Chains A and B, each alone.
Chain A
Amino acid sequence: MSDADFDVQYIERDDRSARVLIRGLTPAFANGIRRAMIADVPTFSIDTVRFVENSSVMFDEMIGLRLGLVPLTTPLDEFEVGDEVTLALDVEGPATAYSGDIETSEPMVEPADDNVPIIELKEGQRIELEADAVLDTGKEHAKHQGGVSVGYRHLQHVTVDGDRGEFDEDETNVLRGVIETEDGDIVPTAAFDHDLSEKYPGKELTVEDVPGAFVFHIETDGSLSVEELLLRAIDTIEERADELHTKVSV
């Protein structure tokens, strides 16, 4: 297994979403990474809220839920699972309290988005609260999930077998994901409207999965970057392998 030879290639890359082609993975390993990205990479999320005043139209619990869902930036090098950071919110109506109004005691942990409305306040209404954000994993609560709609598909290889019969009907051949052409070009299916008959009109084609080549679609909620999420997921698997290794060798 030391012939582990990986090839990683970003097909699309943004701060918060990316498509990554990884070659050389086993299906078990690919799924392990996917599951780790969803459930095992910790992020900060508000977990306890102490209300000083809440005269808004929503109950404390409803506000608490909304606060919990606001993604917070998470510098994982600085914190460990279980660490807490205190945040505060104080807004008086008429105004809308936004996630950006949340003040933080730790500048590294702040709302990843500033424009999420928490609650709309009318004249005379006020919200004042103190909250503790805790670092935990998606296994514990979905609000701690760093990855959003993380998944993978096989890379698909398209071979042109020849021309279609002259009088055959041109059928649509819908395909989603990313294909590899005979020349080795990597093309997302969105480039040809997910329809192979657009790219290869009048051709007879064979489409097959490329063994060991997985195209991951990774999106984050803003608490981590895509690369960080992927690396941390790989790390959690490594940590567990090492832990088992030490325990087994004793």
Chain B
Amino acid sequence: MMIPVRCFTCGNVIGEHWEEFKARAREGDEDPGEVLDDLGVDRHCCRRMMVSHRDLVDVVSPYQ
């Protein structure tokens, strides 16, 4: 629903990078791998948190 605050595996805080990642790699046309390198999200456990995430707030909000 919302990006998890921390990486499930190592506990590093990754939530803070989501919006920039989304703007540059999802909505923009930059290479996701390069954006993650740039953001300092180095470990592949943290990287998968970003790559595999989908925001669902817009999907569920009509059903409140």
- A and B touch in their complex, CB below 8 angstroms: yes
Residues of chain B from 1 to 32 with CB closer than 8 A to chain A in the complex: 1-6, 10-13, 15-16, 18-19
Name the distance in Å between A23's Cβ and chain B's nearest Cβ. Answer: 27
Cβ-closest chain B residue relative to A149: B10
- Provided the pairs A55-B64, A57-B1, A57-B64 are in contact, do residues A116 and B11 lie with their beta carbons within 8 angstroms? no
Q: How large is the interface on B (under 10, 10 to 19, 20 to 34, 35 or more residues)?
A: 20 to 34
Per the CB 8 Å criterion, the residue count for chain A at the interface is 27
Name the distance in Å between A13's Cβ and chain B's nearest Cβ. Answer: 15
Name the distance in Å between A128's Cβ and chain B's nearest Cβ. Answer: 17
The answer to whether A145 touches B13 (Cβ under 8 A) is no
Residues of chain A from 117 to 142 with CB closer than 8 A to chain B in the complex: 117-120, 122, 125, 142
Q: Is A196 on the interface with B (CB-CB < 8 A)?
A: no
Q: Once the chains are docked, how many angstroms separate the CA of A107 from the CA of B11?
A: 25
What DSSP secondary structure best describes chain A's contact surface? loop
Chain B 33-59 near chain A by CB (<8 Å), digits 1 or 0: 000000000010000000000010100
Q: Which B residues touch A116, using CB under 8 A?
A: 5, 13, 15-16
- Surface stretch bound by B, among A24-32, A63-71, A240-248: A63-71
Name the distance in Å between B12's Cβ and chain A's nearest Cβ. Answer: 5
The answer to whether B57 touches A113 (Cβ under 8 A) is no
- Provided the pairs A117-B18, A149-B43 are in contact, do residues A69 and B5 lie with their beta carbons within 8 angstroms? yes
Q: Is A115 on the interface with B (CB-CB < 8 A)?
A: yes
Chain A 39-70 near chain B by CB (<8 Å), digits 1 or 0: 00000000000000001011000100010011
Q: Which B residues touch A110, using CB under 8 A?
A: none
Q: Once the chains are docked, how many angstroms separate the CA of A115 from the CA of B13?
A: 10
Q: Which A residues touch B61, using CB under 8 A?
A: 57, 122, 125
Q: Once the chains are docked, how many angstroms separate the CA of A149 from the CA of B18?
A: 21
Cβ-closest chain A residue relative to B9: A149
Q: Which B residues touch A145, using CB under 8 A?
A: 11
Name the distance in Å between B47's Cβ and chain A's nearest Cβ. Answer: 14
Q: Which A residues touch B64, using CB under 8 A?
A: 55, 57, 125
Q: Is A219 on the interface with B (CB-CB < 8 A)?
A: yes
Q: Once the chains are docked, how many angstroms separate the CA of A27 from the CA of B3?
A: 39
State the A residues within 8 Å of B (CB). Answer: 55, 57-58, 62, 66, 69-71, 99, 112-120, 122, 125, 142, 145, 148-149, 219, 221-222
Instruction: Supply 24 A–B pairs (Cβ within 8 Å), ascending by A.
Output: A57-B1, A57-B57, A57-B64, A58-B1, A69-B13, A99-B15, A99-B16, A112-B13, A113-B15, A113-B16, A116-B15, A117-B3, A120-B2, A120-B55, A122-B57, A122-B61, A142-B11, A148-B12, A149-B10, A149-B11, A149-B43, A219-B12, A221-B12, A222-B13
